[in-house]
Amino acid sequence: MITTALGSFAGHDYAACCRAVLGELVGRAPMPELPARGPGADMIGRAASLLPGLPVDLQPSGWRLAQGPSLIGRRARRMLGDDREIFVEHLADWPGTPTLTVAGPLTLAARLGLPRGGRAVGDAGALRDIAQSWTAGVGDFVRGTARLAERPVAVQIDEPCLAMVLDGEVPDESGRHRLDPVDGQRARGVLADAVDAARAGGELVALHCCADDPHLDVLGAAGADALSLDVRAWAGGRWDELAAWCDAAPDRSPWLGLVGADEEEPDVADLARRFARARAGLDVAEDSPRPADWALTPACGLAGASENGQWRILRALAGVADDAGA
């Protein structure tokens, strides 16, 4: 069993964060996102900068598709490239598997505005264009990173807005109305194409959703190798759904989000009890070898924690993983 993190961290010093992340996480570590550095360092800006043929700019209402290239769009792409270069340099003496984290196409469509107003997810053509551009741009970025790192790279596709998209809860720009839901079958197709594109890294592909209801019927049908989920409040039927997904193929792994970014003084014994509930929910005996393939993670990114608190969280999770593997 391993401990890993989900991408975003607190802080402003990128090189220092890379050193700390690779020092704390032995087997699998994400290329950090440091959104506190400002526009272009955030999840949406970074992912949008990878969309070929779809320039973006930033307005008071958030990121939007633009008629042409913008300074802030170029800044986001340049920052992402600089970050990758720093991260790859720090991989030289680290033996594990790096993970690229990127906002998925459905979350991008939910968060990106259209040039003349409205949300991209509410426009079928815009959603199609974003999904197609995402597969091309992310595939190129993943291949390029694997080449620079001289090793396979895993990919974590972040879909925090998935439940809102499927439930018709994405607000319009006024905030007074909700957009129509995206059909589940269409969402499955978009996610399956995204997973296929992410396989350019030559390693596993994980899908992350931290919603209370992650819509496992959609998320689990996309063909990912791992599902990264906030399981802190789970009970009953949801565990049965995840267990069925795990049992359908021997190489599928749950990434169990056990602790929030606001829990900066985590108690290892309490986290161990949360992990025990997860094992019971998945109906896995204590002597089963299967949890060796699992990962313990924070419930979501750690950008909301303090710089010192985020390392305490990862060390507490590592303590639980070590005890479980003993």
Residue 246 φ then ψ, to 5°: -60, -40
Q: Is 326 exposed, middle or buried (0-12, 13-18, 19+ CB in 10 A)?
A: exposed
Strands of the chain, DSSP E: 2-3, 28-30, 56-59, 62-65, 97-103, 153-158, 202-209, 226-230, 253-259, 295-298
Of 224, 227, 229, 228, residue with least CA distance to 205: 224
Beta-carbon count within 10 A of 238 CB: 17
What pTM was estimated for this model as a whole?
0.95
pLDDT tens column, 230-261? 999 887 789 999 999 998 888 899 999 999 99
Which residue has 């496992």 as its token pair? 216
pLDDT tens column, 164-217? 999 999 998 777 889 999 999 999 999 999 999 999 999 999 999 999 999 999
Asked which of 12-16, 53-57, 164-168, 244-248 is least confident by mean pLDDT, the reply is: 244-248
157 has pLDDT over 90: yes
Q: What residues does each domain of the chain span? A: 27-254
pLDDT at 285: 59
Q: Is the dihedral of CA 317, 322, 325, 326 positive or negative?
A: negative
Long-range (24+ apart) CB contacts under 8 A made by 266-272 are: 266/312, 266/313, 266/316, 266/317, 267/316, 268/316, 268/319, 268/320, 268/323, 271/316, 271/317, 271/319, 271/320, 272/320, 272/323, 272/324
Q: What is d(CA 147, CA 197) in angstroms, rounded to the nearest whole number?
A: 16
**Mean model confidence pLDDT for the chain:** 94
326 has pLDDT over 50: no
Asked which of 64-78, 269-283, 301-315 is least confident by mean pLDDT, the reply is: 269-283
Q: Percent of the chain at pLDDT above 90?
A: 86
Q: Percent of the chain at pLDDT above 70?
A: 98
Beta-carbon count within 10 A of 254 CB: 24
The 10 Å CB-count burial string (b at 16+, else e) for 160-192 is bbbbbbbeeebeebeeeeebeebeeebbbebbe
pLDDT at 318: 95
Beta-carbon count within 10 A of 310 CB: 26
pLDDT tens column, 81-138? 999 999 999 999 999 999 999 999 999 999 999 998 899 999 999 999 999 999 999 9
